[in-house]
Amino acid sequence: MAILGFLAAMLFPVVNRGLAASQKGGCMSNLRHIGVAIQEYSGDHEMTLPYGYWVGMSGGGVSWDDLISSYLDITLTPSQISSGSMPGRHSILICPADRLPALSGVSRRSYAMPRGSWDADGPMGVGRTLNVSPDAPSGVRLASISEPSKTIMVMDYSTAKAKGDTGDNMAGNAGSSIVDSPTQQLSRGNGKQLHQGTFNYLFVDGHVENLKPEATVGSGSMSNPRGMWTVKSGD
């Protein structure tokens, strides 16, 4: 029995590492498929990216995953798109390492765009947003991004520690559809546990990398990133 216990103790970390590698790979595959969907969306929308989110005058809201839903083979009615939540469960939007129980009637989401639309020294990512506006924000034009292979488009973002958390990242919801910084990524939900302190990042050119968050911030900081988080080059 002692020998069996010793062998089990040796095998347990190996099994855990294998599971973590499989989950990371599955997450990267999700992001690649999301990247293809965004490319198809852009081709149909004058080579612009989907915006991060838009909340109209009557509430509800449309987020980037609503905009690309049909390209992910997710069928939504116009009222569902603008409702602020996405019915069903859509595994393409859920990181395999983000293992909270399913929400009732709506899909969880493990991904977000970097926030855009801020001024000089604040986030200038691709996820443009507007609140309580009659018109949706315009998407970032691909031609305006000088370094698509170094500009993040979508990334891991888990925002709940337990089922029922009010801050849960729900598909089709404006809340948590964008993220401001690595500090926010790490401090919310189960972020640190997703991939042992690293995150998966989808870039504008369609490739996906697993990186430590501090490697993404360029001349900025963990709380106010530049570098890969912005559409500017060389920052």
**pLDDT tens digits for 154-183?**
999 988 766 655 567 889 999 889 999 999
The per-residue pLDDT for 17 is: 59
CA torsion, ordered 101, 106, 112, 117, to nearest 10 deg = -150
pLDDT of residue 15: 44
Give dist(CA 177, CA 130) in Å, integer: 12
Which of 7-21, 131-145, 204-218: highest mean pLDDT? 204-218
Residue 129, pLDDT > 70, answer yes
Q: How many CA atoms lie within 13 A of 84 on its CB side?
A: 9
Cα angle 206, 60, 96; round to 5: 40
Stretch 104-109: mean pLDDT:
85
Our CA dihedral for 151, 65, 68, 41, rounded to 10 degrees, sits at -20
Question: Which residue is associated with the tokens 């849960």?
Answer: 168
User: Which is nearest to 49 in space by CA: 94, 116, 108?
Assistant: 116
SS3 call for 26: helix
Instruction: Give the best-scoring range by mean pLDDT among 48-52, 99-103, 117-121, 127-131.
Output: 48-52
Q: Write down the pLDDT at residue 153.
A: 98
- pLDDT level of residue 4 (50, 70, 90 thresholds): low
- The residue that leads in pLDDT, 94 or 15, is 94
**What average pLDDT does this structure show over 111-128?**
79
2 exposed, middle or buried (CB, 10 Å; 0-12, 13-18, 19+)?
exposed
- CA pair distance 66, 80, nearest whole angstrom: 9
Rounded to the nearest integer, the mean pLDDT of the chain is 87
- Provide the pLDDT confidence category of residue 105 given band limits of 50, 70 and 90: confident
Percent of the chain with pLDDT over 70: 86
* Ranges 55-64, 69-78, 81-90, 94-103: which has the least confidence: 94-103
Contact 71, 40 (CB under 8 A): yes
Burial 111-134 (b: 16+ CB within 10 A, else e): bbbbbbbeeeeebbbbbbbbeeee
- The reported pLDDT for the residue numbered 142 is 96
pLDDT in tens, 176-218: 899 999 999 998 876 777 898 899 999 999 999 999 999 999 9
Phi–psi pair at 56, nearest 5 degrees: -80, -175
Which of the residue ranges 15-29, 86-100, 153-167 would you say has the lowest mean pLDDT? 153-167
Alpha-carbon torsion (43, 47, 52, 58), positive or negative: negative
Q: What average pLDDT does this structure show over 70-83?
A: 94
Residues 69 and 82: their CA atoms lie apart, in Å, by 12
Whole-model pTM: value is: 0.88
Give the whole-number percent of the chain exceeding pLDDT 90.
60
Model pLDDT, residue 95: 93
